[in-house]
Structure 1
Amino acid sequence: MVAEVMGASEIGQRLSELDGWVLANGAITRTVEMRGFPDAITLVDRVAVVAEELDHHPDMDIRWRTVTFSCVTHSAGGVTARDFRLATRIDEIIKGFTGGN
């Protein structure tokens, strides 16, 4: 079953419920700065475990201590509820590192 692509208004409303996520290049995206490179790698490792659990994988870009996550359901051709579930889990992991920042 293919996930249903969300419309712009629904995406905007759902983004308002998340911390730091924006719509960019057809995906929901968040950038976070960690204390250092080892923390950035640990963050990515923890997100990888969740991504496997959900069978939905974000694009991740690591630049020294800055990590950018982009979530889009490629098979559906846009942003779906699966992306927001993953983004919510990523936020939970980030809060574990930063205390909510």
Structure 2
Amino acid sequence: MTDLLTDHQIDDELGGVPRWTRVASEIHGSFRAGSFVGALAFVNAVGALAESAGHHPDIDIRYDRVNLSLSTHDAGGLTGKDFSLARQIDIAAAGLVD
């Protein structure tokens, strides 16, 4: 099992992923893709990253907006796995979303 991060560690990690905010035991990121097709392309990129990491976000698509939530469910909160995937998603977003 992966260790839960402390509040201080979470605050430090959030500094490296400015698109993400903490809501209770999750981090949330919101991305605008410009079109529904663009949103789907972004979700496919996120899916590939998630499969590679073995760590899967909750995904909500609203036309051109993609909302993602990350939490390590088996640990009961936020771990380094969440922030690692958030950083990877942000890199992928650079070429696909606003």
Q: Which range, TM-score by smaller chain?
A: over 0.9
User: 1:61 aligns to what SS in structure 2?
Assistant: strand
So what's the TM-score if we normalise by structure 1?
A: 0.92
- 1:46-85 alignment to 2 at 5 Å? 46-85=45-84
Q: Which ranges in structure 1 are unaligned for 5 or more consecutive residues? A: none
Q: Which ranges in structure 2 are unaligned for 5 or more consecutive residues? A: none
What is the alpha-carbon root mean square deviation over aligned residues? 1.0
How many residues align structurally?
98
So what's the TM-score if we normalise by structure 2?
A: 0.95
Alignment match, 2:10: 11
Report percent identity of matched pairs: 33
1:7 CA drift (Å): 1.1
> Structure 1 stretches (4+) deviating beyond 3 angstroms?
none
Q: Deviations over 1:28-62 (max 9, x none)?
A: 11101111000000100111011001100011110
